[in-house]
Amino acid sequence: MPRILLIALDSVGIDPLGHARPESVYAHSRFLFPPEHRSGTDAPTPIRDGPAAGALIETVVAPEDAPGAIECAITYTSIFSGQSALRAHGLMNGLGLNEQALKDMVQRANLFRRFESPCLANAIFPLHLAFLGTSFVQARLPSFDRQAIENALTLDGQPVRLKGHDKHGFAELFTLGEINQNIFVYAADEAGARLRSWSDVRQGQALTGTLTHGLEARFNWRAFGIEPLPTQTPLEAAGILAELTRRHDFTFYKYQLADLVSHTGKIELARDVFDVIETFIGAVLREIDSAETSVVVTSDHGHLEQVAFTRGHPKSRVPTWYFGHDAERHVSAMREPEGIFHAIIDCGAA
């Protein structure tokens, strides 16, 4: 039975003006955006210069003129349920992260449940931060409110401030803690996949959404009884994910840092984060055996490609990369997020 690795990159869209222009965040792409790719195309673009043969497909997560904002939960619900959360519910206002309507869709069909040994490679964040909203794992975590965090947590040696015009540390904490609010954590749990912890991360058995723990290292967690995570390189993180992929028939990992960087509006940071992404995916592809593992890399909505965008997330198309021997068979399905569910089941059954 073939193995599948699915990677989601939060907030990585297709550059609507084309990535070949020097101003593009992706202008220095090594293999994920080939020079011949044209933005807005429905045809797959072959990937020839990477560590494995593949194709780049443009996935439509929301029509440009759809009312409301595109949020992570809509796309992840579609990917993990195989049904369009957009068509079922429209673009729900707010983050919509713990909506019963989305849970119902996952209960009807759940990608993790379709495999014998599914793996969520991300570790859940070890605290429940009540001010970020409800989460799917709060019942099993120590809970801290805004005041407790402001009284005890520091970022770069400075107190964290979660309110007011200078929300020092809020975006960074959100980036780390949002994993607990994602529908795929609910989906993995519902399918009986083990939810990994930061102790798994310390043992090289899980990843956090930052890959390197550079963001985690800026906080002093000791007041909460948490020792810092040792930092690692994207190549070391790729080795951990490749090993998890070898031990499971379906493995999912989500990279979150692109979202934080997108909201800074700084193009140089966006370029750096894309460089990390390309290094990491290149290393993952070199470490796994492409004859037995298909790799799908996708995103939930755009933003990195338009770092100065200030009205939520732009409704750009997102890239879906397929690395495997039978790309042509899955291209049309992967033009929609819910089709990624069906393409993955189709590869798993091949």
Q: In the complex with Zn ion, which residue's Cβ is closer, 10 or 338? A: 10
Least separation in angstroms between CB 195 and Zn ion: 20
Name the residue nearer to Zn ion (CB basis): 114 or 254.
254
Compute φ and ψ for 110, nearest 5 degrees: -135, 115
Residue 72 contacts Zn ion per CB under 5 A: yes
Q: How far is the CB of 126 from Zn ion (least distance, A)?
A: 21
Q: For residues 153 and 157, what is the distance between their CA atoms, to the nearest angstrom?
A: 9
Question: Considering the complex, what minimum distance in angstroms separates the CB of residue 275 from Zn ion?
Answer: 20
Residue nearest to Zn ion (CB): 72
Residues 232 and 213: beta-carbon distance below 8 Å: yes
d(Cα 238, Cα 297) in Å, to the nearest integer?
14
Contact pattern for Zn ion over residues 90 through 129, marking x by CB under 5 A: ----------------------------------------
Residue where the block lists tokens 């930052």: 210
Please report how close the Cβ of residue 216 comes to Zn ion at its closest, in angstroms.
19
- Shortest CB 300 distance to Zn ion, Å: 4
**Pick 96 or 118: Cβ nearer Zn ion:** 96
Contacts (CB under 5 A) with Zn ion, residues 296-325: 300
**Which CB atom, from 99 or from 300, has the smaller least distance to Zn ion?**
300
Q: Which stretch binds Zn ion (CB under 5 A): 22-30, 69-77, 118-126, 157-165?
A: 69-77
CB nearer to Zn ion: pick between 72 and 120: 72
Minimum CB distance to Zn ion smaller for 159 or for 265: 265
Q: Looking at beta carbons only, is 10 or 200 nearer to Zn ion? A: 10
Contacts with Zn ion, 219-248, as mask; x by CB under 5 A: ------------------------------
Minimum CB separation of residue 260 from Zn ion in Å reads 11
Secondary structure of the chain as H, E, C letters: CCEEEEEEECCCCCCCCCCCCCCCCCCCCCCCCCCCCCCCCCCCEEECCCCCCEEEEEECCCCCCCCCCCCHHHHHHHHHHCCCHHHHHCCCCCCCCCCHHHHHHHHHCCHHHHCCCEEECEECCCCEEHHHCCCCCHHHCCEECHHHHHHHCEECCEECECCCCCCCEHHHHHHHHHHHHCHHHHHHHHCCCCCECHHHHHCCCCECCCCCCCCHHHEECHHHCCCCCCCCCHHHHHHHHHHHHHHCCEEEEEECHHHHHHHHCCHHHHHHHHHHHHHHHHHHHHHCCCCCEEEEEEECCCCHHHCCCCCCCCCCCEEEEEECCCHHHHCCHHHCHHHHHHHHHHHHHC
**Closest approach of Zn ion to the CB of residue 25, in Å:** 17
Cβ at position 130, least distance to Zn ion in Å: 21
Q: Which of 3, 5, 10, 129 binds Zn ion (CB under 5 A)?
A: 10
User: Which residue, 15 or 300, has its beta carbon nearer to Zn ion?
Assistant: 300
Interface with Zn ion: number of residues (CB under 5 A): 3
Site for Zn ion in 263-302 (CB under 5 A): 300
Binding site for Zn ion (CB under 5 A): 10, 72, 300
